[in-house]
Structure 1
């Protein structure tokens, strides 16, 4: 037990504390799914695991509410595994260490997993608390949302009977979401063409660190620096010195997180080190000024390293540097329909040097398929000019807003009744699973809401304590006021 279990609502925070103790990064949800299954079955709740690993839990209606429309509460079981460079944390084995920091809950040196652990804990708390009034209830817990939406892709028709879906994966108290961006992964490979290390060379490692990073959709319009894009600029500086050679480049770890760190292994003659150090110092000063107030702790570091056994040939070095610099990154287009909403964006998320090739991964997002495809084609064109192979995987649709949504109107009215504020209705520039659900269950009436979570997908992740309380109050009140299912009423 940790101090967060003393927070209110107690049941929700106790479940979240348990979730923190069970490792559950994307692709490793088996342990947390088994714990939830065992817990639900001990309470006499029906559970079903589908073919891809999603978990469905059913709870009968509160007596007297059997005629209400069926509701599906939905969350995903996985979390983004990100840790600070100085933190040794195995996300497949080590528990998250949450703690209270003023008005917030954080984790020690890692992502917290409030995305979507708070929503998941809220779903379990509804199942556990018999004082919560509701109609026929299903809880849908999906796998692998963060790294590929595998669970949502694999959900089959006919598995669920409810008509209303409450998605708990939004991250701003006081906002209600009725649409989201779709996306696609660009997976790029460039053959590693090697040469021997020149005889008079020494090795140096250039590292960019200290960046904020963040969610590649929600934070993409805030002007945060990308370590991968900054390193691309530095590599172009380096190519001006033909005696400096590039052996490897690595940056970022997730396609849906803005890269916080990146590094390049270089070889160079001893007499060039001073010139390179001076150039890096100038870039450091430039970045400190350029990103002041946005990314205040950008650090460039050049240190001796072990001499590699190969370097890239000069043609590859030039083409790779040019392609990374030209690669689209950030906001591509703003929405014409919703003021202040991002229409299309892309994130240069991962660069890694493998034995046979250099691998690059970008996540492209857009509110419509045309915008998504336009950015995807531009990305492919840049890298194909450099001789790379570009493959697109995991395309998923956006969730188009429904202005006639009944559940949206109920949520707005309930929020006003509880807190005397009408929430803002928004479209989120992130990949909620709702777009995929809508393709499988086109008649579902859907809405997404949640507490304030900042710094998602980074070790700066934190959740606002009071916002969690408001999220719970809103969830409970909405469930109580779900209207009757007219078709069921007529049958009775």
Structure 2
């Protein structure tokens, strides 16, 4: 295995990706990557601006003879999802990502790689820098905070962009062109509880769930992978019902758009039943491991004795929390009746976290049907409110309705066939591409999304296929050279 990706092809893309990977850029912490991109545009003498939402726009004039082509906007997002394997020391606010070559793939060591969407950013920088590709008027749009609310896309003002075509470089299957995406909605739940002193006669334990595969809560939700919060809830329910378990604290998951991989809970169990609790919980853990063996072979469930906690969640709030999480939809809710194999509606029970006096539960809901999204939000809201919690539904963003008659789509299908001898597949994606939001502000844009092959995004196992990056780059350059003079 080698840390040197500079010799990979296309050299320009990998050169820029290596630089980008070494710049910390978690969602909401894009200052350094924004500064880098702004400096890059200025170094080329190109018009470069930063808007009020933190987006960067760089404009490159058409090459000679291409001035009459419809302007193209190349779009990618600056931030990445920070996820790491338990035990790995990595500060995403300050530490660089070390990208390594591993056979036919590039990956990181124990953390997310940031190919989502660093490869898209790198490809745009390569186009801006190179004199080789033929193209009409170009605008490079680098959006902020895509992974944690899409605030950059939401803050994009009308009239700022002049192009008629938007190519989103944030898809993850080479050879497929995406023309639609799901909308999303955040559900934030809060259980207030009275912290009580723990009575005498209890032992303290820590339950941990780890090693799950995790992944993107849109792209991977159909794979049926284990959810650490659901598994922990099952362990806690059994302990409470059978052994009088009491909860002191719980912390599971970290990001709404990542399937939760880890959870830990500090609990107390009556001393007289401690050995039975250990034996039966170990047996339940083995059962869960067997159930998840196909999707999560590295799942680990551990029980360790610890100091006795001083305070616990009151019994009523604890019972309501467990029952509501147990009943909360998680995973695929409904498959699309129009596009075979596409998830229509889903829920990711992403975060369960206690603090002083309350427990917060966060879910990300997705659907390509606005009515189904609202209905799911109502259902989850009613469920948690009936358990005594407060619920806020916000952060909603629109989906992107497919347009199979798109002029640019037809051109891109022909270009791909000419380059690689086959017609690319047309897809919609069960994830929140920024196209839906940008399209709401710029409704006349002709939009298509594509990218190289990336596996396990939003997880520490993220990797990008080397050969697909070269095909992606070749295709991008040929598409730019084939821009039409009119869209109608």
Same fold (TM over 0.5): yes
- TM-score, length of structure 2 as denominator length: 0.98
Q: Mind listing any 5+ residue stretches in structure 1 that lack a counterpart?
A: 488-492
SS at match of 1:5: coil
The match for 2:57 is 56
Deviation sequence 1:140-174 (CA, Å, 0-9, x none): 00000000000000000000000000000000111
Contact 1:368 1:397 in 2 (8 A): no
1:198 shift after superposition: 1.4
1:339 aligned to 2:340? yes
Secondary structure, in 3 states, of the residue corresponding to 1:4?
coil
1:151 aligns with 2:152: yes
Alpha-carbon distance in structure 2 between the residues aligned to 1:360 and 1:486: 46
What is the match of residue 140 of structure 2? Answer: 139
- In the alignment, the residues of structure 1 paired with residue 184 and residue 110 of structure 2 have an alpha-carbon distance, to the nearest angstrom, of 29
Instruction: Give 3-state SS (helix, strand or coil) of 1:331's partner.
Output: strand
Is the CA contact (8 Å cut-off) linking 1:334 and 1:340 kept in structure 2? yes
How far apart, in 2, do the equivalents of 1:2 and 1:133 lie?
A: 33
Structure 2 residue 163 is the aligned partner of structure 1 residue 162: yes
- 3-state SS, counterpart of residue 240 of structure 1: helix
Aligned to 2:25: 24
State the match for 1:246 in structure 2. 247
The structural deviation recorded for 1:232 is 1.3
Query: Do 1:328 and 1:378's aligned partners in 2 also have CA atoms closer than 8 Å?
Result: no
Q: Which residue of 1 aligns with 2:70?
A: 69
Q: After superposition, where does 1:103-182 map in structure 2 within 5 Å?
A: 103-182=104-183
CA contact (8 A) 1:183 1:397 kept: yes
Taking the aligned partners of 1:422 and 1:485, their CA distance within structure 2 comes to 23
- Using the TM superposition, give the Cα deviation of residue 179 of structure 1 relative to its aligned residue in structure 2, in angstroms: 0.1
How many residue pairs match? The answer is 487
Spell out, residue by residue over 1:228-266, the C-alpha distance to the aligned partner (whole angstroms, 9 max, x if none): 111111121112135321111110000100000111110
Given that residues 112 and 461 in structure 1 are in contact (C-alpha distance below 8 angstroms), is that contact kept between their aligned partners in structure 2?
A: yes
Deviations 1:86-120 (A, max 9, x none): 11111010000110000000001100000000001
Superposition deviation, residue 298 in structure 1: 1.2
Equivalent-residue separation in structure 1 for 2:128 and 2:377 (angstroms): 42
Distance of aligned partners of 1:292 and 1:243 in 2 relative to their CA distance in 1, 3 Å threshold: closer
Contact 2:60 2:139 in 1 (8 A): yes
1:301 is aligned to 302
SS in 2 for 1:239: helix
Counterpart Cα distance in 1 of 2:452 and 2:318: 46
CA distance in 1, matches of 2:452, 2:237: 42
Instruction: Say if 1:369 and 1:484 are closer, same or farther in 2 by CA, change over 3 A.
Output: same
Equivalent residue runs for 1:406-417 within 5 Å: 406-417=407-418
Structure 2 residue 456 is matched with structure 1 residue 451: no
The farther-off stretch of 267-276 and 33-42 is: 267-276
2:381 aligned with 1:372, yes or no?
Answer: no
For residues 409 and 115 of structure 2, the distance between their equivalents in structure 1, rounded to whole angstroms, comes to 24
Task: Show CA shifts across 1:371-409 (max 9, x none).
Answer: 111111111111111100000121000000012101111
Q: TM-score normalised to the size of structure 1? A: 0.97
Pick closer, same or farther for the CA change 1:285–1:242 going to 2, 3 Å. Answer: closer
Partners in 2 of 1:288 and 1:35 — Cα distance?
45
Q: Which residue of 1 aligns with 2:278?
A: 277
Q: Residue 280 of structure 1 contacts residue 300 of structure 1 at CA under 8 Å; is this kept in 2?
A: no
**Distance in 1 of aligned mates of 2:48 and 2:312:** 55
For the structure 1 residues 486 and 212, does the alpha-carbon distance in structure 2 shift closer, same or farther, using more than 3 Å as the test? closer
Q: Deviations over 1:423-449 (max 9, x none)?
A: 110110000000001110000000000
Q: Within the alignment, does 1:399 sit opposite 2:400 as a pair?
A: yes
Distance 1:397 1:270 in 2: 53
Measure, in 1, the Cα distance between the counterparts of 2:276 and 2:424: 55
